[in-house]
Chains A and B, each alone.
Chain A
């Protein structure tokens, strides 16, 4: 079990590094899925099977699916023309290194063993429907708000898209050749924009 913890930890760290450094967007997201799986294993080794399952189902399952669907909607190209220059990592690297050093220093000043017992789903649900029931309700309200908000924001995008299309079609019908018109035929459902295939400015 202890070995499993360290192996899963290493996998998590490595795959997270890959997420951050890949230029191909889909590759990065898939590496993120791997990282989330590894963290789920870590949860299991820590004696928290419930959240391990939750991590896989919700995080790796739902949230990452959301990411991938958005990528598909945005019609992001497979490869970006621009690379991340190596010198761009220096500044953030230093800052993050200092941050990490401080936090690790603060953490490792004292060492404490884990309790040793597994905290199963039963205990968690008892806590959830016990003292944290209000939090649960609020969380569900939050999700409802996010749902409505996301739908609203996205729908606006679609409406504007349609209005622009109508304007350009009208211009074409009146005899003017609009140069932007033929750079891709935007479907209302797809919502991607003219001319720029591939994500802009991927560095």
Chain B
């Protein structure tokens, strides 16, 4: 076991989350956007595990498991949508889907 304090783990999770969020705001490729979402989910899971390790209980890991399951489901459906997206809009540029404009 590493002799680190909780806040170091949480700070790592925060940094990873921030990077993922920045990527989400900047990148226009739909696949990369999905990847950034994965990064953010992963960071959240890291925070859970770190918190669980603080108390020495399994709950943090259990939460990470659920997050993982959810991320997998989300990626599956998201990529299917990406296929449809590509089919109807002829590109993978997220900015092209602006029919909700105005």
Residue positions of A touching B, CB distance < 8 A: 1-2, 4-6, 9, 12-13, 16-17, 19-20, 25, 28-29, 32, 35-36, 39, 42-43, 45-48, 50-51, 54-55, 58-59, 62-63, 66-67, 70-71, 73-74, 76, 80, 84, 88-89, 91-93, 95-97, 99-100, 103-104, 107-108, 110-119, 123-124, 126-128, 132, 135, 139-140, 142-143, 145-147, 149-154, 156-157, 160-161, 191-196, 199-203
- How many contacting A-B pairs (Cβ < 8 A)? 293
Across-interface contacts of B70 in A (CB, < 8 A): 139, 142
Q: Is the CB of B19 within 8 A of A119?
A: no
Residue positions of B touching A, CB distance < 8 A: 1-12, 14-23, 25-29, 31-32, 34-36, 38-39, 42, 45-46, 49-50, 52-62, 64-66, 68-77, 79-84, 86-87, 89-93, 95-96
Q: Is the CB of B52 within 8 A of A48?
A: yes
- A181 and B32 CA atoms in complex are apart in Å by 30
Q: Is the CB of A84 within 8 A of B26?
A: yes
Q: Is the CB of B36 within 8 A of A150?
A: no
What's the minimum C-beta distance from B61 to chain A, rounded to whole angstroms?
5
Q: Is the CB of A19 within 8 A of B86?
A: no
Interface centre among B2, B65, B68 (most CB of A within 10 A): B2
Across-interface contacts of A5 in B (CB, < 8 A): 2, 4, 8
Chain A to chain B contacts (Cβ below 8 Å), 7 pairs: A1-B3, A9-B8, A67-B31, A139-B70, A199-B31, A199-B92, A201-B92
